Amino acid sequence: MGRPPCCDKTGVKKGPWTPEEDIILVSYIQEHGPGNWRGVPTNTGLLRCSKSCRLRWTNYLRPGIKRGNFTDQEEKLIIHLQALLGNRWAAIASYLPERTDNDIKNYWNTHLKKKLKKLQNGDTDESLSSGNSSYQSISKGQWERRLQTDIHMAKRALCEALSLEKPCDSFLDLKPFNGCQSLTSPTQTQTPTPTPTSSTSTCTYASSTENISKLLQGWMRNSSNSSNNDTSSSEGSASGTTTTVKNSNFNNFSTLEPLSGIQSSPEGSDDSGSAQQMPLSFLETWLLDETIEQGDDEGLLDLSLDDNTAGLF
């Protein structure tokens, strides 16, 4: 009773996705919500492996993804986070909800790595290089920081799990830069209020072809109009009261809310999250404050994370 492969290798199509396949996949997810990827190929007739379907959705078709044109702010954030977390792209991507881990990874490998190398060889632009060069080698301090980060993330996950109605998302919920809410992981923040704003105009709906882009944008609009219906259908299938998180997130695709910039918003200090908002602000400040970058990175990093983990609980 060996483990069967996730997909039948012989009957599986590989390579770039066609617009038609995208349409089929999106249509299916529109109806059933993301998740249960195993059933996607069989239910849709797509000759793709379930993994491929999931990847296509999360990295490409999922609404709220911003593609290309990384801003300086994003760039610096990635550099700092990479120095802090290492090549844990999913964790880094959680700080940039509009970006996929794959996107960040590619950007790092194609742009930032070279940029930093260049800077290190020539005249060093401290604002960029200091964030990385200090951490190329795994030091004891870095391991400690990574461990602290792991502990913190575990705590956060536990916190979310224990308080579904009031997810403690404040720490990691660094707001996207351009007011485009997106989904990151099923465990992340949900926006309960349906606000079908001009999401299709403010969010770049990822697609390789204009056709599929237009089609999907049309779906976004339709979806937002009929979000209640869709909600009832998809949540209904999730048996009413106990809505699956994935479906909830899916329903939020049409409720993309404009968010504030990355600078922490004052309203984040509401009573429920004030205790946790403080370290967030601290981290944000550190991540984005170029003056700090000029200083002693090691010490500051330790300080920031110590404050983070200490202040969170």
Partner DNA sequence: AAATACTACAACCGCCAGTAT
Partner DNA sequence: TATACTGGCGGTTGTAGTATT
Residue choice 41, 81, 83, 103 for contact with DNA (CB under 7 A)? 103
Residue choice 19, 23, 55, 148 for contact with DNA (CB under 7 A)? 55
Work out how close the CB of 211 gets to DNA at its nearest, in angstroms, rounded to a whole number: 14
Work out how close the CB of 237 gets to DNA at its nearest, in angstroms, rounded to a whole number: 15
Residue choice 78, 91, 283, 305 for contact with DNA (CB under 7 A)? 91
Query: Judged by CB, which is closer to DNA: 21, or 293?
Result: 21
- Written as one string, the DSSP assignment of 240-264 is TTS--HHHHHHHGGG-PPP---SSP
Of 177, 207, 211, 171, the residue nearest 189 (C-alpha):
171
**Six-digit token string for 23:** 């349409």
Per the listing, tokens 């705590």 go with 155
260 is a site residue for DNA (CB under 7 A): no
Stretch that binds DNA, among 42-50, 195-203, 228-236, 279-287 (CB under 7 A): 42-50
Distance, in Å, from the CA atom of 115 to the CA atom of 118, rounded to the nearest integer, reads: 5
Work out how close the CB of 56 gets to DNA at its nearest, in angstroms, rounded to a whole number: 5
With b for 16 or more beta-carbon neighbours within 10 A and e for fewer, the 269-282 pattern comes to beeebeebbbbbbb
Classify the phi-psi angles of 176: left when phi > 0, otherwise alpha if psi is within -120 to 50, otherwise beta.
beta
Other Cβ atoms less than 10 A from the Cβ of 63: the count is 25
23 is a site residue for DNA (CB under 7 A): no
186 is a site residue for DNA (CB under 7 A): yes
Query: Judged by CB, which is closer to DNA: 52, or 304?
Result: 52
8 A C-beta contact, residue 112 and residue 78: yes
155 is a site residue for DNA (CB under 7 A): no
Query: Judged by CB, which is closer to DNA: 184, or 224?
Result: 184
8 A C-beta contact, residue 239 and residue 37: no
68 is a site residue for DNA (CB under 7 A): yes
Residues binding DNA (CB under 7 A): 1-4, 6, 13-17, 35-38, 48-52, 54-56, 58-60, 67-68, 87-91, 101-103, 105-107, 109-111, 114, 185-186, 208
